[in-house]
Structure 1
Amino acid sequence: MNKVIFLFLGLLFSAQCLSITPYKGNYELYAETVMGNLKIGNAILNLEVTDNKFIFTTEASTGSLWKALYDYSRYEKSMGNEVDGQIINSYFSVIEKIKDEVKKDYEITIETDKNYAVSSTGEEFEIKPGLLVDPLSVYLALSNDIINKPNQSEFTYQVVDEVGVKYLQFKLDGSEKILINESEVETMRVICNELQLTLNLSVEENFQPIKIHKINGKTAFTMTLISFET
């Protein structure tokens, strides 16, 4: 259980549209267990934008009732620019703790024009031609592309993290109405098979994630938006 919670909380996202705008969202995280669908944590996603430069952060942690079993927290930061409707990354960092012990603490500097990324661990990753993003800003890129390329149903990105660069493919899977805070929300469903991930992106709110469903091993997790500010 600890490992799958750890893996899911590392996959927290948000998204905006062309000409990205500031956004702050609060989410609740649930896990399907033998005892039912239980709330196990919370997350805050915050996107700041100044002159097309963005700073995007996430803060996630297990809830107070779970801390005795698994006291987990994770902070991510992504920085870059929006240029002609594309998300151009320059920096990504992660600090992850279990109780007071730091499990991950690294930074990645991205040099898109030079086709490489450098980790604070000393590793250098080669980038192939095309868009490179980090695990957080990939959802900004996805949102922009859904709007700018309405006839396209699949999007593939190079995504860099501490282990290197990998390709992730996101497929549009139709519209779906879901219930959030007793209100129906029209969403676009997007699937990433590589991550066993399903996103519900709000059609009216710049394709921000309203609901995220992730399978890790034998456990399914759902992260649901409860409030946001734009």
Structure 2
Amino acid sequence: MSINGVKIAEEVRTLHQLGDQYFYTANAKTSGLAALIKDYTISASSTFLINKEGVGSINYQILEQEGKQVSENYVIDINSKSGTVMSGLTKTQPKVITWKVKKGNVVDPLSLFLALSYDLKDRPNQSEFSYQVADGKSVEQQYYKKTENQIVSVDNQTFNAIKVERINSENNNMQAYFLSEYRYLPVIIKMTKGSKKYRYEIKDFKASEVEKLQVSF
């Protein structure tokens, strides 16, 4: 994982199946020379299910720290049936907020990529996708466009990827490249959040069990 062109950490994402639900985690910590400049850690998790509409989140949590300072800490519970998203009390969210959402699934910033993976595989003829995304600060409708036959290089290998990019958004842009060889998981992710530009490139992929899948960026 790099920020503004500087590699700062390795992020490990792990997916577990727990009955009819799934638990997805992402953990990163600065390493190498970057750790001498600033200590950065992030820990996030998403619990979700898969129904006829695709991926639907149930719970999302994130804790991001720069040094000893908490920069982002949110917890939300999502109830798609009742159409509500409720925040928990955290250091960066000192009061409980409830959002009303449209009928249908809601995803979070972590499960969003699995929702895209699922839809790319399950809906191959669809070129545009939209999701209600809840992150603890707001709930917004996000729109994405698919472009096939994009050549990318990963670990000195060339692949024919599917590019998905966010559309109708000026401040928070995202591009991700998915490979069918990797179960339609993203192998490169580029995101812009304000002045920060994030880049994730897959380093390792393990799928030794049906119930567990692990990816390192």
TM, length-normalised to structure 2:
0.83
Q: Which is worse superposed, 210-219 or 195-204? A: 210-219
| Structure 1 vs Structure 2 CA RMSD | 1.9
Larger RCO: Structure 1 or Structure 2 (Cα < 8 Å, ≥ 6 residues apart)? 1
Match of 2:50, SS state, is: strand
1: CA distance between counterparts of 2:86 and 2:48? 15
**Residue 130 of structure 1, CA deviation:** 2.4
The runs of at least 4 aligned residues of structure 1 exceeding 3 Å deviation read 215-221
Q: Is residue 48 from structure 1 mapped to residue 16 from structure 2 by the alignment? A: yes
What do the CA deviations read for 1:85-128 (whole angstroms, capped 9, x no partner)?
62121111111112123333331111111100110031101111
Q: 2:4 aligns with which of 25, 31, 38?
A: 31
**Residue 141 of structure 1, CA deviation:** 1.3
What do the CA deviations read for 1:53-104 (whole angstroms, capped 9, x no partner)?
1000001233331223322111101002122362121111111112123333
2: CA distance between counterparts of 1:224 and 1:30? 12
| Match in the other structure for 1:126 | 100
**Residue 30 of structure 1, CA deviation:** 5.7
Amino acid at match of 2:58: S
Q: Which is worse superposed, 150-159 or 45-54? A: 45-54
**Residue 29 of structure 1, CA deviation:** 2.7
Check the 8 A contact 1:214/1:220 in 2, yes or no.
Answer: yes
| Match in the other structure for 1:12 | none
Q: Count the aligned residue pairs.
A: 198
Check the 8 A contact 1:29/1:43 in 2, yes or no.
Answer: no
| Match in the other structure for 1:64 | 32
Check the 8 A contact 1:31/1:221 in 2, yes or no.
Answer: yes
2: CA distance between counterparts of 1:168 and 1:72? 28
Match of 1:67, SS state, is: helix
| Match in the other structure for 1:165 | 139
Check the 8 A contact 2:8/2:31 in 1, yes or no.
Answer: yes
Match of 1:68, SS state, is: helix
Q: Is residue 223 from structure 1 mapped to residue 200 from structure 2 by the alignment? A: yes
Match of 2:117, SS state, is: helix
Q: 2:109 aligns with which of 110, 135, 138?
A: 135
TM, length-normalised to structure 1:
0.79
List alignment gaps of at least 5 residues for structure 2: 90-95, 208-217
Q: 2:186 aligns with which of 209, 223, 227?
A: 209
